[in-house]
């Protein structure tokens, strides 16, 4: 019984190692461009474009990318006597590390820093109070984690969760590889 158990364990480990070796094959060689077009949600609604360029294609089962984020997010809140509206437009370089789970599926994480332009407007219900509008420029930063799944070699879907005060927290859309 002990020999059968050891044989089964060795067979399972060999199978797992074979699957793992296949799973880490890098589908993004150096020089690959990946472009994502996404809608953003919460707080408010937005849209953004992400471009990533594979700079290092083999490092611990994954790859490093450099790229850029450009996005717009708008939200509004209605209070008792006024409505406040906030619009953000951000442009930020970003770096990320993508871990290849399979040839089609990747998870990634990274950081981005850049400039954010924020327009704040307060619209008052009373005609006796003038509406206000202010534009601010901020140094913006964010951290993100996400995943991409490619249905074909060049087309897929992606999701990304961003921690930043200026972008949508949840982004989903399509991605293209060049």
pTM, two decimals, is 0.79
DSSP code for 17: H
Which pLDDT score, from 0 to 100, does residue 110 have?
A: 96
Which pLDDT score, from 0 to 100, does residue 24 have?
A: 59
Non-local CB neighbours of 142 within 8 Å, separated by 6+ positions: 92, 111, 112, 113, 162, 163, 164, 166, 167
pLDDT of residue 111 exceeding 90, the answer is yes
Nearest to 21 by CA among 61, 52, 51, 58: 61
Please give the average per-residue pLDDT across 88-112, as a whole number.
Answer: 94
Q: Which residues pair with 165 in a beta bridge?
A: none
| Domains of the chain with bracketed CATH | 2-177 (2.40.160.20)
Q: Is 112 exposed, middle or buried (0-12, 13-18, 19+ CB in 10 A)?
A: buried
Rounded to the nearest integer, the mean pLDDT of the chain is: 85
Non-local CB neighbours of 16 within 8 Å, separated by 6+ positions: none
């Amino acid at each position: 019984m002990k020999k059968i158990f050891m044989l089964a364990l060795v067979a399972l480990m060999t199978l797992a190692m074979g699957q793992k070796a296949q799973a880490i094959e890098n589908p993004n060689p150096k020089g690959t461009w990946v472009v994502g077009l996404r809608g953003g949600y919460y707080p408010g609604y937005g849209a953004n474009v992400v471009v990533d360029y594979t700079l290092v294609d083999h490092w611990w089962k994954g790859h490093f990318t450099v790229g850029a984020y450009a996005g717009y997010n708008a939200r509004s809140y209605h209070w008792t006597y006024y409505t406040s509206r906030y619009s953000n437009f951000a442009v930020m370089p970003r770096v990320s590390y993508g871990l290849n789970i399979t040839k089609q599926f990747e998870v990634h994480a990274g950081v981005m820093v850049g400039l954010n332009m924020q327009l704040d407007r307060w619209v008052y219900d009373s005609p006796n109070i003038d509406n206000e509008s202010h534009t601010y420029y901020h140094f913006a930063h964010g951290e993100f984690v996400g995943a991409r799944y490619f249905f074909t070699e060049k087309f897929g879907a992606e999701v990304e969760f961003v921690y930043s005060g200026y972008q949508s927290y949840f982004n989903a859309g399509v991605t293209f590889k060049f």
